[in-house]
Amino acid sequence: MLVQGQNREDVRQHNLSIVLRMLHLRGSVSRSELTAVTGLNRSTISDLVSELEELKLAHETDGAVASGVGRPSHMVSAVENVVAISVHTEFDATTVGVVSLSGKVLSKKRLLSSGKPTPENSVKLAAKEIARLRSEMKSDVRIAGVGIAVPGQVRVSDGVVRLAPHLGWVEVPLGPMMSQATGLPVFLDNDASLGCMAERNFGSARELSDVVFLYAGSGGIGGGAIVDGHQLRGAAGYAGELGHVRISAGNAKDYSGLSGTLESLVRRDDLLDIFKFDSAADEELDAEIGSTKSAKAIKLLNEQIDALGLGLSNFVNIFNPQVVVLAGFLTSLFRFDEERLINRMREGALGAAHERVVIRSAELGSDLLMFGAAELPFGDLISRPSNAKLTTPKGKGAK
Amino acid sequence: MLVQGQNREDVRQHNLSIVLRMLHLRGSVSRSELTAVTGLNRSTISDLVSELEELKLAHETDGAVASGVGRPSHMVSAVENVVAISVHTEFDATTVGVVSLSGKVLSKKRLLSSGKPTPENSVKLAAKEIARLRSEMKSDVRIAGVGIAVPGQVRVSDGVVRLAPHLGWVEVPLGPMMSQATGLPVFLDNDASLGCMAERNFGSARELSDVVFLYAGSGGIGGGAIVDGHQLRGAAGYAGELGHVRISAGNAKDYSGLSGTLESLVRRDDLLDIFKFDSAADEELDAEIGSTKSAKAIKLLNEQIDALGLGLSNFVNIFNPQVVVLAGFLTSLFRFDEERLINRMREGALGAAHERVVIRSAELGSDLLMFGAAELPFGDLISRPSNAKLTTPKGKGAK
DNA sequence: TTGATTTGTTGCCTACGCCAACATAATCCC
DNA sequence: GGGATTATGTTGGCGTAGGCAACAAATCAA
């Protein structure tokens, strides 16, 4: 039982947390709104905001907002000079970006690598870019940490990549390695789980408590879910492998060697083949899907939509979400025939669960995993604002 | 965003809650253990226990427990005269029981009904029994409320049974009806979800944070899950329909008209047929399964085990639980060939997720849903111990 | 300008968890 | 058996942080 008692310090931390989280999610909020949402007293909010200002995590913006009669309320914002560094490791590239606590992607750079990336090379590549970024930062910037989105199963407890089939990694202690190379606190998680969190915090599932998220790229289908406001993690952090759910007795295998799974039935490569692409960006593929007249292609698209719809119906039965968010080329499938996908989903789902569920495309595009990975260090920061461990660009710890 | 601020009262409620919850779950706990687990100060625990005693929700037991050197610690227990009334509505019977806050099923009675039960008749039947039980209770008993386990989808927010196919109920406001008939606070939820919670709180998944639960009876297969310590509910309360997950393209339909679902492939009726039973209690069926030599029966059992294993592998991929708990005749399948079921589950699950998962049989037997349904009113009571609304047997509100 | 309304500020109050000192009841060891 | 040790219960006082009330400030409506 993880039932911890609460003392006064915990209360203060909790209240600071919820204020800071709100600033983080919405960028800036008026004080009166803070009192309304939190249910705390005006004077308490005032005190909390002051403390966050002293911690240099928030500041009052001049632009007061008049919402009708009465004295206008001050706007409070998260600062822009507290940042997280996001890393996304992929088969052929590593992307490194900087995200501000106020919820903006400040920079993003995709570093191409050739051949299968070894963990060592990936870390070296990312660490070098991080060092460069830090050398260019102003001295008043403070870094909350590094968040890494990994296309595979991550043991969150010790930062070990348990298995990343597409990268060919097994039991790689990526967290400790990156921490060693950068001197920064490092957090990692599965890419799709982080994508889910990003869409919930900043994208098309904002403010929702129950979300199912599916992301399909060249490496297969990943999934994530928000359950009652919390990210689905499971006992060891491996939960949410929605692409590896078996929905058919077929023999086609997915990237993990399982047959009949959603991932084996909804394959980007199959679409590339039929359009005779060697490789293509999502935008090209999307354009082709939107304009194709080929009967063969339409047949394949319909088959994929049917399989996806079946998978979604299962997830709806299991999670009863408010919204299903699709990302990657799944959005192209959805746009190709929205009605078909929705119908397939409804056919397989029990009445009550699907009644209100809607399907949406992801909003965050190529920033998705920059936002997502940044949520890991920011989450740590937000959960204990007054004990946060921040680092200056030059490497000194800063309070 | 449901982020509420916390004031001092909330802290007190929270601390009272966790102490009371611990008493409820374990029956009795020593004070020293309370301080250790909660992390609160000895004097604070002392104060909290006193308050719970004043509220007549807990009392100190004489039996001090010596755990080695040092002054022995007092045992604190939940009282036995605060009770919840559990109701389980089924196709052919309604079961009504009384469960104490200290975690004991004090009584249980199965009331047979003939023909499809209308909601009105079920309520009347249960209300009559509840009135009888109340008339027999001592005057110092206090009732936390009525919990109803319903074999179907329940909209938790307003206590409406959205759909219970086996009972033939659609949009039945069972909560308000029962509340009207008894004058007690009424809570309801899906039977399998409640079974899951019961096994987590008192059965074979005790103290675990991530649990998948499958219950199969004559009415099909229901499921529930515990995710990060919280019951899986979904946006409207319809989550956890694990029996209706499609795992095959087959044509057999389940009780909700969906084909290829786990429920359609693992059917109790099929086993009854093959053993030429008209109907049978789980014990009879279990004995027959354990002793059969019939090749046809063995083939069917293996097919069912394979289907179940496939379903479980999906749930393991999705939830990454510590344990999978099986109830109803699924335990017979499990016992028939444990190895086969485990292997099937592992084959379909990704390595990392299945490494540590174990399959267990439910422990609570026929008390399962009595415990489960009681958790609803008790959960309400425990979440706000000092504002609890308790009722005397004679119907007066008692503080 | 005056009144109404909402928000920010200030000083005081109080609830409740913590702490330290002491009392108590067991085991351990000679 | 009796002192030493150890763990727990008890008591009184302290400090912190959220609530509250009164007042100031900034808007809108006349």
pLDDT in tens, B42-53: 999 999 999 999
Backbone angles phi, psi at B28, to 5 degrees: -145, 145
Pair A378, A142: CB distance under 8 Å: no
Q: Are strands A73-78 and A58-65 parallel, antiparallel or unpaired?
A: antiparallel
Q: How far is B264 from chain A (nearest CA, A)?
A: 13
- Picking from A29, A78, A30, the residue whose alpha carbon sits closest to that of residue A382 is A78
Pairwise CB contact (< 8 Å): B242 & A314: no
B40 or A257, higher pLDDT? B40
Judging contacts by C-beta atoms under 8 Å, the chain A residues touching residue B313 are 246
**Domain B82-193+367-398, second-level architecture:** 2-Layer Sandwich (3.30)
Q: How many other C-beta atoms lie within 10 A of the C-beta of residue A112?
A: 9
Cβ distance of A240 and B318 shorter than 8 Å: yes
Mean pLDDT score, B271-275: 92
Where residue B399 falls among pLDDT bands split at 50, 70, 90? very low
Strand D reaches within 7 A of the B45 CB:
yes
Mean pLDDT, residues A93-118 taken together: 93
Q: State whether A321 and B18 contact (CB < 8 Å).
A: no
Minimum-distance CB partner of A1 among B7, B37, B313: B37
pLDDT of residue A254: 67
Mean pLDDT over A378-392 rounds to 94
Give the model's pLDDT for residue A399.
46
Q: For residue B153, which amino acid is it?
A: Q
Assign domain A8-66+73-78 to a CATH class.
mainly alpha
* Token code pair at residue A57: 């995590």
Q: Do B235 and A233 contact (CB within 8 A), yes or no?
A: no
Q: Does the pLDDT of residue B388 top 90, yes or no?
A: no
- DSSP string covering A147-183: EEEESSEEETTTTEEEEETTTTEEEE-HHHHHHHHHS
CA–CA gap between residue B15 and residue B126 (Å, rounded)? 35
Domain ranges of chain B: 8-64+74-78, 82-193+367-398, 206-362
Least confident of A186-190, A392-396, B238-242, B274-278: A392-396
Check: CB of residue A325 under 8 Å from CB of residue A205.
yes
User: Are the CB atoms for B76 and B335 separated by under 8 Å?
Assistant: no
Name the superfamily (CATH) of residues B206-362: ATPase, nucleotide binding domain (3.30.420.40)
Q: How many helices (H) and strands (E) does chain A have?
A: 14, 18
Tell me how far apart the alpha carbons of residues B269 and B274 are, in angstroms, rounded to a whole number. Answer: 9
SS3 B230: strand
Q: What is the mean pLDDT of chain B?
A: 91
Cβ B4 to strand D below 7 Å? no
Q: What is the DSSP track for B350-383?
A: -HHHHTT-EEEE-S-GGGHHHHHHHHHHHHHHHH
What region does B380 belong to: left with phi over 0, alpha with psi -120 to 50, or beta? Answer: alpha
Look at B4 and A11 and tell me if their CB atoms are within 8 Å: no
Residue A97 has pLDDT above 80, yes or no: yes
Q: Which of A21, A350, A357 sits opposite B241 (nearest CB)?
A: A350
pLDDT at B345 over 70: yes
Kindly compute the dihedral angle of the four CA atoms of residues B312, B313, B314, B315, in this order, to the nearest 10 degrees: 50
Whole-Å CA distances, B176 to B146, B148, B234: 12, 12, 22
Tokens read off for B273: 């047929």
Please state whether strand D lies within 7 Å of residue A15 at its CB atom.
Answer: yes
- DSSP state at residue B92: S
User: By C-alpha distance, which of B239, B222, B195, B125 is closest to B363?
Assistant: B195
Average pLDDT rounded to a whole number, residues B362-382: 97
Q: Which nucleotide is nearest to B41 (CA to C1')?
A: C18
Residue B84 CA to residue A247 CA, distance in Å, equals 41
Strands A323-328 and A230-231 come out as unpaired
Tell me what pLDDT residue B396 has.
63
Helix %, strand %, coil % of chain A (to 5): 45, 25, 30
Predicted pLDDT of residue B234? 95
Mutate to test the interface with B, among A320, A324, A325 (most CBs of B within 10 A): A320
Among B21, B245, B248, beta carbon nearest to A249: B248
How sure is the predictor about A396, in pLDDT bands with cuts at 50, 70 and 90? low
| Cβ <8 Å between A153 and B353 | yes
Q: Is residue B250 over pLDDT 80?
A: no
pLDDT digits (tens, 9 = 90+) for B346-368: 988 877 666 789 999 999 999 99
CA–C1' gap, A56 and C8, in angstroms: 21
**Which nucleotide is nearest, taking the CA of residue A60 and each C1'?**
C8
Look at the domain B8-64+74-78 and name its fold: Arc Repressor Mutant, subunit A (1.10.10)
Pick the more confident residue, A383 or A2: A383
pLDDT band at A282 (very low <50, low <70, confident <90, very high): confident
Quote the tokens at residue A220: 């297969």
pLDDT band per the 50, 70, 90 thresholds, residue A397? low
Asked if A8-66+73-78 and A204-362 have one fold, the answer is no
Q: Which pLDDT score is estimated for A353? A: 64
Mean per-residue pLDDT, B267-289:
88
Q: Is the pLDDT assigned to residue A91 strictly greater than 60?
A: yes
Average pLDDT (A163-177) is 94
The tokens describing B121, both together, are 């008749």
Query: A323: closest CA among A226, A253, A218?
Result: A226
**How confident is residue B113, by pLDDT bands cut at 50, 70 and 90?**
confident
**Minimum mean pLDDT among A278-287, A339-348, B185-194, B356-365: which range?**
A278-287
The CATH fold assigned to A204-362 is: Nucleotidyltransferase; domain 5 (3.30.420)
Q: How far is the CA of B265 from the C1' of D26 (A)?
A: 70
Mean of the pLDDT values across residues B227-254? 87
Of the listed ranges A148-162, B84-98, B338-352, the least confidently predicted one is B338-352
DSSP B136-181: HS-TT-EEEEEEEEESSEEETTTTEEEEETTTTEEEE-HHHHHHHH
Over residues A174-233, the pLDDT tens digits come to: 999 999 999 999 999 999 999 999 999 999 999 999 999 999 987 789 999 999 999 999
User: pLDDT for B283-318, tens place per residue?
Assistant: 889 999 999 999 999 999 999 999 999 999 999 999
Protein residue at shortest CA distance from C1' of C6: A70
